[in-house]
Amino acid sequence: MSASDWGYDLLYTDLPLSFCTVFGVQSVISTSANFEQVKRVKVSIHNFQLYRHVENPGWKLSWVWKGDEVIWKMWGAEAIEQGNCSRFKAQERPHCCEKEPTIIDLTPGTPYQLQVTNCCKGGVLTSMTQDPTKSSAIFQMNFNKASNFSIPTDDSSSENVTTNNNSMPEKFSLGIPGYSCSDPFQVPPSKVTTDGRRWTQVLDTWNVTCIYSQFLASPAPKCCVSLSAFYNSTIIPCPKCSCNCQGLAGANCVNSGESPSLLQLPHDMSTEDPAPLVRCSQHMCPIRVHWHVKQSYKEYWRVKITITNLNLVKNYSQWNLVLLHPNLQSITQVFSFNYQPLSVYGDTNDTGMFWGIKYYNDMLLQSGVSGNVQTEMLLHKDAGNFTFREGWAFPRKVSFNGDECVMPSPDDYPRLPNAAHIAAKASFSLANKHDFAKLQTEAKICGSQFSHYYHQSRIPDWWKFRNSQIDKAFDYIIVTRTSVGGETVTAVELPPPASQLTEIGRFRQ
pLDDT tens digit sequence for 166-209: 578 899 999 999 999 999 888 888 888 878 899 988 888 888 88
DSSP secondary structure, 463-490, as one string:
HHT---EEEEETTEEEEEEE-TTS-EEE
Low-confidence ranges of the chain (pLDDT < 70): 1-37, 90, 148-166, 261-271, 418-509
CB neighbour list of residue 143: distance below 8 Å, 6 or more residues apart:
38, 39, 41, 69, 70, 71, 72
Q: Please check whether residue 67 is in contact with residue 75, taking contact to mean a CB–CB distance below 8 angstroms.
A: no
Question: Cα separation of 330 and 95, whole Å?
Answer: 56
pLDDT of residue 439: 42
The count of residues in the chain is 509
Q: Where are the domains of the chain?
A: 22-84+92-147+167-216, 220-251+277-412
Q: Which fold has domain 22-84+92-147+167-216?
A: Immunoglobulin-like (2.60.40)
What is the separation of C-alpha 236 from the centre of its chain, rounded to a whole number of angstroms?
A: 23
Question: 220-251+277-412: same fold as 22-84+92-147+167-216?
Answer: yes
Q: What is the pLDDT of residue 166?
A: 55
How far apart CA 320 and CA 400 sit, in angstroms, is 6
CB 297 within 8 A of CB 316: no
Beta bridge partners of 337: 356
Give the CATH number of domain 220-251+277-412: 2.60.40.290
The per-residue pLDDT for 160 is: 37
Name which of 246, 308, 253 is nearest 275 in CA terms: 253
Distance of alpha carbon 476 from alpha carbon 491, whole angstroms: 12
What is the b/e burial string over 103-117, where b = at least 16 CB atoms within 10 angstroms of the residue's CB?
bbbbeeebeeeebbe
Helices (H), 355-492: 418-423, 436-445, 461-464
What's the DSSP call for residue 276?
P
CA atoms within 13 A on the CB side of 353: 23
pLDDT at res. 396: 95
The answer for 195, left when phi > 0, alpha when psi is -120 to 50, beta otherwise, is: alpha
Residue closest to 37 by CA, chosen among 138, 139, 167 = 167
Torsion sign over Cα 465, 457, 494, 508? positive
Q: Mark residue 258 as left, alpha or beta (left: phi above 0; alpha: psi -120 to 50; beta: remaining).
A: beta
For residues 116, 144, 146 and 37, what is the CA-based torsion angle, rounded to 10 degrees? Answer: -150
Instruction: Tell me what pLDDT residue 271 has.
Output: 64
Q: Identify whether the C-beta of residue 384 lies closer than 8 Å to the C-beta of residue 323.
A: no
**Per DSSP, what are the bridge partners of residue 228?**
292
Please name which of 10, 43, 33, 23 lies closest in space to residue 207, comparing C-alpha atoms.
43
